């Protein structure tokens, strides 16, 4: 496998497309070969596809696994005794659980990259932090979920962690108001999952007619729009409600998944998700999986150089998205920028995941 | 109590290593030193020694011994 430490030290949005391709092509080809050599199911899939992992190809041409595969099979590329952590996620389907096997190196790289990306938005210093969730739910070791893992991952960027919801998942104003008062006029980091923020925080603040003074706060949220879309709440409506109830202007959604923890796609000031140098995204046409043009909707493929202990470096998601452009976003960040437009219909994705499952023999 | 005694006490109380040599204690080597335990440890050390660690140092804080080196950078001699 190639040494990726130099790339991991690069600032997250610092490479234009030709430099990025040149740097990442050998890394992704190296990852394909590493997983081919170390993970038998991956090897069988590559053989079934007729993909030769000894050859270097542009990373847009390497095979992608459907994310669903991690719910069906235990896929890892290191000796079992080197696995230090297993991330599980129910995803949005709600039934089967994804299992992501991490060794020390992959786990450490994930944390390092997350901190580079987050740091580029909130600055190098840790900030007083509000977590819009319930401490009881998050800190329960017996129910350690992707939700807990996400919160613990982000809590490194904060100090004096204040949980904004009580055990009943209602706003805990007794804890929150003194915290806000203490840090008045200073930047505060706020983190939570999109739907929980809406359902248990904003809605309740509106109902009780409470306004919080969080002008200097920077809020990160993620976890998807599926449930909010069901309630017909758009991204802009969500932002407006946060501004109205909490005076928060700096709001960043992120797109990411347990299968590629660390290399998040952050939403910029212009409202687009951005690929950092350690990752990329490609939009594929549903009928033949060819690459879609910019501006053309299709299935989202995500690539990350971080997965060394499991073959998750190139994944086909069940999301639909559209690339807006590359290297020329008004926010100034280099790399592709894109939007997520929805979830795929079950039937469509099942077709392609079955294709790969058959390849496992 | 000396700084070292405070440091040792935090590790012993938190991770209860049952007489395991503290020098051998690393992140993930005991069940309680998982990510929840890690953030608790950092918060307790920060309060005890009145310091604020940078994010990178929280990540690098991978063992009892490594932690001593990191605290030294913040002027805490153990």
Q: Mapping DSSP to helix (H, G, I), strand (E, B) and coil, where does residue A121 land?
A: helix
ipTM: 0.76
Could A141 and B36 be called an inter-chain contact, meaning their C-beta atoms sit closer than 8 Å? yes
Residues A258 and A319: beta-carbon distance below 8 Å: no
Residue A106 tokens read as 């992959």
Smallest CA–CA distance from A153 into chain B, residue: B35
For residue A115, give the chain B residue with the closest CA. Answer: B55
Kindly list the residues from chain B whose CB atom is less than 8 angstroms away from the CB atom of residue A145: none
The answer to whether A152 contacts B56, with C-beta atoms less than 8 Å apart, is no
* Tokens describing residue A281: 């995204």
pLDDT score of A184 = 94
Sort A18 into a burial class: Cβ within 10 Å, 0-12 / 13-18 / 19+: exposed
- B26–chain A Cβ distance below 8 A for any pair: no
Contacts of B66 in chain A (CB under 8 A): none
- Residue range A113-255 forms a domain whose CATH class is alpha beta
Which of A113, A122, A126 should be substituted to probe chain B, the one whose Cβ sees the most B Cβ atoms within 10 Å? A126
The Cα A248–Cα A241 span in angstroms is: 9
B64, B26 contact by CB (below 8 A):
yes
SS3 A261: coil
Pairing of strands A217-222, A250-255: parallel
What is the DSSP code (8-state) at residue A201?
A: I
pTM (predicted TM-score): 0.87
Sign of CA dihedral B26, B30, B34, B40: negative
Amino acid A213: pLDDT:
95
Is there a contact between A141 and B56 if contact means CB atoms under 8 Å apart? Answer: no
Quote the tokens at residue B37. 């335990």
Convert the pLDDT of each residue in B16-66 to its tens digit: 767 778 998 988 778 888 877 888 899 999 999 999 998 888 888 989 999
Q: Is A15 helix (H, G, I), strand (E, B) or coil?
A: coil
Is B75 within 8 Å of B37 (Cβ atoms)?
no
Structure-token pair, residue A95: 């039934």
pLDDT tens for residues A8-21?
999 999 999 999 99
Over its length of 361 residues, how does chain A's per-residue pLDDT go in tens digits? 678 999 999 999 999 999 999 999 999 999 999 999 999 999 999 999 999 999 999 999 999 999 999 999 999 999 999 998 888 775 544 567 889 999 989 988 998 899 899 999 998 889 999 999 998 877 776 666 777 778 888 998 999 999 999 999 999 999 999 999 999 999 999 999 999 999 999 999 999 999 999 999 999 999 878 788 888 899 999 999 999 999 999 999 999 988 999 999 999 999 999 999 999 999 999 999 999 999 999 999 999 999 999 999 999 999 999 999 999 999 999 999 999 998 887 544 443 333 343 334 3
Judge contact between A282 and A301, C-beta under 8 A: yes
For residue A201, the tally of other CB atoms under 10 A from its CB is: 26
Mention every residue, 6+ apart, whose C-beta is less than 8 A from residue A70. A98, A99, A100, A259, A310, A312
Contact across the interface for B35 and A112, Cβ inside 8 Å: no
Partner-chain contact B46 A161, CB within 8 Å: no
Contact assessment for residue A219 and residue A251, using Cβ atoms and an 8 Å cutoff: yes
Q: Of the candidates A212, A282, A276, A279, which has an alpha carbon nearest to the alpha carbon of residue A243? A: A212
CB contact under 8 A, A156 and B56: no
> Is B30 within 8 Å of chain A by CB?
no
Size of interface A-B (CB pairs under 8 A): 40
Chain segment A220-272, per-residue pLDDT in tens: 999 878 788 888 899 999 999 999 999 999 999 999 988 999 999 999 999 99
For residue A147, the model assigns a pLDDT of 78
Handedness of CA A285, A290, A291, A293 (dihedral sign): negative
Provide the pLDDT for residue A241.
96
| Other Cβ atoms within 10 Å of A124 Cβ, number | 10
Residue B50 contacts A, CB cutoff 8 Å: no
pLDDT at A347: 40
Take residue A48 and report the two structure tokens written for it: 């079934």
Distance from CA of A311 to the nearest CA of B (A): 23
Nearest Cα residue in chain A from B58: A156
The reported pLDDT for the residue numbered A224 is 77
Cα within 13 Å of Cα(A224), Cβ side? 17
CB contact under 8 A, B52 and A141: no
Taking CA atoms, A229 is separated from A234, A274, A342, A343, in Å, by 7, 22, 9, 11
Write down all domains in chain B, each with its CATH number in brackets: 3-73 (1.10.1200.10)
d(CA A36, CA A31): 8
Q: Across the strands, what pairs with A336?
A: A326
Query: A359 CA to chain B: closest CA distance, Å?
Result: 36
CA distances from A175 to A72, A135, A160, A329, B73 (A): 42, 12, 12, 40, 33
**C-beta of residue A215 within 8 angstroms of C-beta of residue A156:** no
pLDDT at B30: 82
């Amino acid at each position: 496998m190639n040494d990726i430490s130099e790339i991991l030290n690069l600032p997250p949005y610092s490479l234009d497309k030709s430099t990025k391709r040149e740097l990442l092509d050998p890394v992704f080809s190296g990852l394909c070969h590493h997983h081919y050599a170390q993970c038998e199911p991956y090897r069988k899939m590559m053989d079934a596809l007729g993909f030769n992992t000894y050859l270097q190809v542009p990373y847009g041409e390497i095979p992608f696994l459907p994310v669903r595969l991690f719910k069906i099979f235990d896929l890892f590329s290191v000796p079992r005794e080197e696995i230090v952590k297993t991330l599980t996620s129910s995803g949005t389907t709600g039934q089967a659980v994804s299992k992501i096997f991490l060794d020390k190196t992959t786990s450490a790289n994930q944390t390092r990259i997350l901190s580079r990306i987050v740091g580029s938005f909130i600055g190098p210093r840790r900030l007083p932090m509000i977590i819009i969730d319930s401490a009881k739910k998050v800190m329960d070791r017996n129910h350690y979920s992707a939700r807990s893992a996400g919160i613990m991952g982000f809590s490194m960027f904060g100090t004096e962690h204040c949980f904004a919801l009580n055990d009943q998942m209602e706003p805990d104003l007794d804890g929150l108001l003194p915290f806000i008062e203490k840090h008045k006029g200073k930047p505060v980091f706020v983190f939570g999952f999109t739907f929980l923020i809406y359902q248990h925080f904003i809605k309740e603040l509106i109902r009780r007619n409470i306004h919080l003074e969080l002008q200097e706060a920077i809020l990160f949220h993620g976890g998807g729009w599926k449930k909010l879309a069901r309630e017909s709440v758009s991204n802009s409506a969500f932002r407006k409600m946060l501004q109205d109830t909490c005076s928060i202007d700096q709001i960043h959604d992120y797109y990411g998944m347990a299968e590629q923890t660390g290399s998040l796609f952050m939403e910029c000031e212009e409202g687009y998700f951005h690929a950092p140098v350690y990752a990329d995204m490609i939009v594929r046409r549903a009928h033949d999986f060819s690459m879609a043009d910019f501006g053309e909707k299709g299935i989202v493929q995500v690539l990350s150089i971080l997965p060394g202990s499991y073959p998750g470096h190139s994944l086909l998601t069940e999301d639909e998205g559209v690339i807006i452009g590359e290297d020329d976003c008004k926010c100034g960040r280099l790399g592709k920028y894109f939007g997520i437009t929805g979830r795929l219909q079950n039937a469509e994705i099942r077709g392609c995941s079955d294709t790969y499952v058959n390849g496992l023999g | 109590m000396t700084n070292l005694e405070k440091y040792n006490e935090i590790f012993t109380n938190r991770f209860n290593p049952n007489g395991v040599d503290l020098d051998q204690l690393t992140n993930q080597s005991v069940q309680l030193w998982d990510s929840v335990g890690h953030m608790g440890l950092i918060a307790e050390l920060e309060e005890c020694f009145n310091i604020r660690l940078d994010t990178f140092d929280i990540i690098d804080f991978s063992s009892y011994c490594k932690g001593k080196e990191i605290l030294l950078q913040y002027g805490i001699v153990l």
